[in-house]
């Protein structure tokens, strides 16, 4: 009779061991998910705390009259030809 009693004990031990291993794997999986969620939350908090990047500096608005005077002087000095002067003037005015 002692042999008949061993089978249920072995079966119970095998089932218990399998259940233990499955539970342990599930716990490790839950811990990994929890750690990932914590890291994601931390990164989101860091990104929210950072100030937005500064806007690109805008070029200073130069008065059209000042630019026309400058290209007029260049034209008088002979740096710009008549065609170049007319093209620059049209570009500024148009």
Mean of per-residue pLDDT scores for the chain: 84
CA–CA separation, 43 vs 46, rounded Å?
Answer: 5
- pLDDT tier, 3 (very low <50, low <70, confident <90, very high otherwise): low
Q: Where are the domains of the chain?
A: 1-49, 62-94
Largest CA distance in the chain: 123
- Structure tokens, 76: 């008088």
**Cβ within 8 Å of residue 13, ≥6 positions away:** none
Per residue in 58-86, pLDDT (tens digit) is: 665 668 888 888 999 999 998 888 888 89
Does 1 have pLDDT greater than 50? no
């Amino acid at each position: 009779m002692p042999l008949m009693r061993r089978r249920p004990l072995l079966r119970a031990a095998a089932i218990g061991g399998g259940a233990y291993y499955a539970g342990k794997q599930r716990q490790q999986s839950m811990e990994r998910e929890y750690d990932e969620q914590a890291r994601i939350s931390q990164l989101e908090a860091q990104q929210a705390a950072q100030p937005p990047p500064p806007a690109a500096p805008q070029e200073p608005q130069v008065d059209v009259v000042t630019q026309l005077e400058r290209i007029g002087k260049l034209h008088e000095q002979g740096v710009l030809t008549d065609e170049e002067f007319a093209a620059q003037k049209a570009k500024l005015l148009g």
